[in-house]
C-alpha cells in the first residue's frame, strides 16, 4: 500500500526521530537495538548500509553509532518518501550532530524507484516503513540494489502489537478533537479580522468541549495532554491574544499531523490483516528468508515482527 507523505513530512519536520516519540524519546532501545546490532555485526569494514523508509534516520543513526564504536567506517544512507529535515533533527538532538552529519540523507525518494546502483549495497534496513509501500515493487528494487550475499532486514508492524491497539484508541480521540469547532476552523477563518480578539472566548468553549470528552475517558493520556496544552494557550491568549492564537495554530497543526500519521498506521494494519503473507513479496523477488521473529518492548509486550533475508549469490 502507499500513503500520503504530506503529514509525514510535517511530522519529521517537527524533529521527531522515531514514529513512537512517547515510547522512544531518544531512539529505539532494548530488543530493537539488539536486533539491529546483530545485523550490523555481520558487516565488514567499509560496508554500505541503506536504510529505506527511514524517516529522520533512527536506524541509520544506530548503524552510524555502531560503525563509530567499532571503527568500521560504514557508508550509511537514509532515504524516505517524505521531505525530511535534518536541520530540525540536529536542533532537537544536538548530541547526535556528528553521527547525523556522517549520514547521507535522501529525502523525497520512494523506495520503489530509489536509484541506487545495482548490486551496490551490503545491507538494506527498514523499520516500521516498508509495509507502507507497494510491497512487490519495493522488494524488486531492494533485490536489485543488494550485492550478491547482501542482506535485507526489516522490523514491521504486527497486527497484535500494543502499538496498534493504542493507535486505534488514539485515532478515535483525534477524530473527536478534530471535530471541535475551533480545531476544525479553516485557515482563512483563523486569519479573518477580529478572530484573534474573540479567540480567548472561543478557546474557553473549546476547553469545555475537550473536558467533556475527558470525563468520558479519564485514562486518556492524549486528552489529558491536549487539555494541559490548551490551558497554557488560554493563559497566554488572555494576556496576548495574537500570540495565543499563533500558539494554538501550531498546536492544531500538530494534532492534525498526528491524526494523519495514526490514520496511516491503521490503514497499514488493515492491509496487513488482509494479506498475512505479504512478506512473501521479498522471496518472490528472489531473496531468501533466513529467519523471522518477534520484537518486544521492555515490558514484554509485542512491538513488531522481524524478518531477515539474503540475496543469494
Rounded Cα distance, 241 and 233, in Å: 9
Residues 126 and 35 in one domain: yes
In tens, the pLDDT along 121-142 reads 999 999 999 999 999 999 999 9
Q: Given a cut of 80, is residue 108 above it in pLDDT?
A: yes
Rounded Cα distance, 89 and 76, in Å: 17
Residues 145 and 212 in one domain: no
Choose from 65-69, 202-206, 240-244 the range with maximum mean pLDDT.
65-69
Question: Which DSSP category does 106 fall into?
Answer: E
Residue 73: other Cβ atoms inside 10 A: 11
Residues 85 and 232 in one domain: no
Residues 182 and 133 in one domain: no
Rounded Cα distance, 276 and 182, in Å: 41
Regarding pTM above 0.75, the answer is yes
Rounded Cα distance, 173 and 217, in Å: 9
pLDDT at res. 162: 66
Per-residue pLDDT band for 288 (boundaries 50, 70, 90) equals: very high
Rounded Cα distance, 311 and 79, in Å: 21
Residues 133 and 230 in one domain: no
Residues 89 and 106 in one domain: yes
Residues 66 and 125 in one domain: yes
In tens, the pLDDT along 238-253 reads 888 888 888 988 888 8
Which comes out higher in pLDDT, residue 178 or 191? 178
If you average pLDDT over residues 26-30, what whole number do you get?
71
Residues 186 and 154 in one domain: no
pLDDT at res. 90: 84
The angle subtended at Cα 223 by Cα 218 and Cα 224, nearest 5°, is 70
In tens, the pLDDT along 87-106 reads 888 887 888 899 999 999 99
Residue 271, in any domain of the structure: no
Helices 162-178, 241-274: axis angle to 10 degrees equals 140
Helices 195-216, 241-274: axis angle to 10 degrees equals 40
Residues 127 and 246 in one domain: no
Residues 31 and 110 in one domain: yes
Q: Which residues contact 266 (CB under 8 A, 6 or more apart)?
A: 164, 167, 168, 171
pLDDT at res. 42: 96
pLDDT at res. 153: 98
Residue 247, in any domain of the structure: yes
Per-residue pLDDT band for 29 (boundaries 50, 70, 90) equals: confident
In tens, the pLDDT along 251-265 reads 888 888 888 888 888
Residue 1, in any domain of the structure: no
Per-residue pLDDT band for 24 (boundaries 50, 70, 90) equals: very low
Residues 252 and 152 in one domain: no
Rounded Cα distance, 34 and 256, in Å: 34
Residue 214 burial by CB count (10 A; 0-12/13-18/19+): exposed, middle or buried?
A: middle
Residues 26 and 155 in one domain: yes
Per-residue pLDDT band for 282 (boundaries 50, 70, 90) equals: very high
Structural domain count of the chain: 2
Residue 90, in any domain of the structure: yes
Range of 253's domain?
162-266
Distance of CA 211 to the CA centre of its chain: 29
Which comes out higher in pLDDT, residue 208 or 309? 309
Q: On the CB side of 35, how many CA atoms lie within 13 Å of its CA? A: 27
Helical (H) or strand (E) element with 302: strand 302-310
CATH number of the domain where residue 303 is located: 3.40.50.150
If you average pLDDT over residues 57-75, what whole number do you get?
95
Residue 37, in any domain of the structure: yes
Q: Where in 86-235 does DSSP place strands (E)?
A: 104-106, 121-127, 146-156
C-alpha torsion angle, residues 44, 45, 50, 54 (rounded to 10): 110
Rounded Cα distance, 217 and 220, in Å: 6
Question: Which DSSP category does 312 fall into?
Answer: -
The angle subtended at Cα 32 by Cα 26 and Cα 33, nearest 5°, is 75
Residue 42, in any domain of the structure: yes
Residues 40 and 309 sit within 8 Å (Cβ to Cβ): no
The three-class DSSP label of residue 276 is coil
Question: Which DSSP category does 82 fall into?
Answer: S
Q: What percent of the chain has pLDDT over 90?
A: 44
Amino acid at each position: 500500500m502507499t500513503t500520503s507523505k504530506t503529514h509525514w513530512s510535517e511530522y519529521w519536520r517537527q524533529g521527531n526521530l522515531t514514529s513512537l516519540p512517547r515510547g522512544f524519546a531518544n531512539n529505539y532501545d532494548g530488543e530493537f537495538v539488539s536486533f539491529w546490532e546483530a545485523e550490523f555485526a555481520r558487516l565488514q569494514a567499509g560496508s554500505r548500509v541503506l536504510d529505506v523508509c527511514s524517516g529522520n534516520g533512527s536506524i541509520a543513526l544506530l548503524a552510524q553509532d555502531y560503525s563509530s564504536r567499532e571503527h568500521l567506517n560504514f557508508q550509511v544512507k537514509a532515504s524516505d518518501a517524505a521531505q525530511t529535515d535534518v536541520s530540525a533533527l540536529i536542533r532537537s538532538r544536538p548530541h547526535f550532530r556528528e553521527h547525523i552529519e556522517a549520514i547521507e540523507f535522501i529525502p523525497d525518494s520512494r523506495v520503489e524507484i530509489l536509484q541506487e546502483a545495482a548490486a551496490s549495497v551490503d545491507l538494506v534496513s527498514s523499520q516500521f516503513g516498508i509495509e507502507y509501500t507497494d510491497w512487490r515493487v519495493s522488494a524488486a528494487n531492494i533485490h536489485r540494489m543488494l550485492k550478491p550475499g547482501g542482506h535485507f532486514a526489516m522490523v514491521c508492524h504486527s497486527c497484535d502489537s500494543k502499538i496498534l491497539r493504542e493507535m486505534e484508541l488514539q485515532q478515535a480521540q483525534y477524530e473527536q478533537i478534530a471535530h471541535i469547532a475551533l480545531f476544525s476552523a479553516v485557515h482563512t477563518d483563523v486569519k479573518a479580522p477580529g478572530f484573534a480578539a474573540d479567540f480567548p472566548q472561543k478557546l474557553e468553549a473549546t476547553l469545555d468541549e475537550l473536558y467533556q470528552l475527558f470525563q468520558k475517558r479519564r485514562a486518556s493520556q492524549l486528552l489529558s495532554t491536549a487539555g494541559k496544552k490548551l490551558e497554557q494557550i488560554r493563559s497566554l491568549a488572555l494576556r496576548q491574544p495574537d500570540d495565543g492564537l499563533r500558539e494554538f495554530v501550531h498546536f492544531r497543526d500538530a494534532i492534525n499531523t498526528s491524526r494523519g500519521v495514526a490514520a496511516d498506521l491503521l490503514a497499514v494494519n488493515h492491509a496487513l490483516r488482509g494479506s498475512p503473507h505479504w512478506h512473501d513479496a521479498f522471496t518472490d523477488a528472489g531473496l531468501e528468508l533466513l529467519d523471522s521473529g518477534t520484537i518486544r518492548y521492555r515490558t514484554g509486550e509485542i512491538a513488531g515482527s522481524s524478518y531477515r533475508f539474503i540475496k543469494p549469490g
